[in-house]
Amino acid sequence: MSAFMSSAPRWQVVGHIDQIPLRGARVVQTPLGNIALFRAAVDRVYALEDRCPHRGGPLSEGLVHNGRVTCPLHQYVIELDTGEAVYPDEGCVTTYPVRLEEGRIEIDLTGSRQTEPSPSGCAV
């Protein structure tokens, strides 16, 4: 949980939705490391740390389906919305708030979220 959760979000423009293919992804480099922007639907973009919790694979290269991405290295499936690995895979990825303003993609790097560690899941 970020220490900045309580402060107001700081939206920063990272690009335009047309730059991401439908059911594809692009990477944006940030001071917090590479973040993958997934376009799961025509008007739906998610931002996740570009690193699979399993062996660190680049999620941005994965197949996108039904709001999930399958990691290209060992087929871990990650929920784009929460960053959580889909059962029975375990683990989770940091997510960042994203919004679309007239096609511009804006991201709030202060709002990083990691789903509460579950007993067998995130607390690695």
Partner 1 sequence: MNETLVIIGNGPAAMRCLESLLEREPDRYRILVFSAEPHPAYNRILLSSVLAAEKAPEHIVTHDWDWFERNRIEFFPGTRIDFINREHGEIRCQDGRVFAYDRLVIATGSSPIMLDLPGSDLDGIYGFRDLDDVDALAREAESGEHAIVIGGGLLGLEAAAGLRLRGIDVTVVHLCDWLMEQQLDPRAGEMLQRVMEDRGIRFMLSARTCAYLEGVQPGRVGGIRLADGRELHADLVVVAVGIRPAAGLARAAGLECNRGILTNDAMQTSDPDIFAVGECVEHRGRSYGLVAPLFEMARTCAANLAVIGEVPELPAAYEGSLVSARLKVSGVDLFSAGIVQDGPEHEVITLVDENLGIYKKLLVKDGKLVGVLLYGDAFDASWYFQLLADETPIGPMRDKLIFGAAFVNGEGETHGAALSLPDEAEVCGCNGVCKGAIMGAIAAKGLQSLEEVRAHTKASASCGGCTPQVEELLALALGPAAPKQPSEKPVCACTEMGHDQVREEIAANEFASVEQAMAVLGWKNPEGCARCRPAINYYLLCRQPGRYRDDPASRFVNERVHANIQKDGTFSVIPRMFGGITSAKELRALADVVDKFAIPTVKVTGGQRIDLLGVRKEDLPLVWKDLNDAGMVSGHAYGKAVRTVKTCVGSEWCRFGVGDSTALGVRLERELWGSWTPHKVKLAVSGCPRNCAEATIKDIGVVAVESGWEIHVGGNGGTKVRATELLTKVKTADEVMDIVFAFLQLYREEARYGERTAGWLMRVGLEFAKERVVTDRVSRELLCERFRESQAVSRSDPWSSETGLPAQAPESFVPLETPEPLIV
Chain residues that interact with partner 1, rule: CB under 8 A: 12-15, 19, 21-24, 26-32, 34, 37, 55, 57-58, 61-66, 68, 70, 72-75, 77, 88-89, 107, 109-110, 119
- What's the closest the beta carbon of residue 33 comes to partner 1, in angstroms? 11
- What's the closest the beta carbon of residue 48 comes to partner 1, in angstroms? 14
- What's the closest the beta carbon of residue 65 comes to partner 1, in angstroms? 4
Please, which residue, 83 or 96, has the CB nearer to partner 1?
96
End-to-end CA distance of the chain: 15
The phi, psi pair for 22, rounded to 5°, reads -60, 135
Question: Which secondary-structure segment (H or E) carries 18?
Answer: none
Please, which residue, 69 or 83, has the CB nearer to partner 1?
69
CA distance 63 to 57: 13
- What's the closest the beta carbon of residue 22 comes to partner 1, in angstroms? 7
- Whether the link from the prior residue into 9 is cis, omega within 30° of 0, is no
80-89 b/e (C-beta count within 10 Å ≥ 16 → b) = bebbbbeeeb
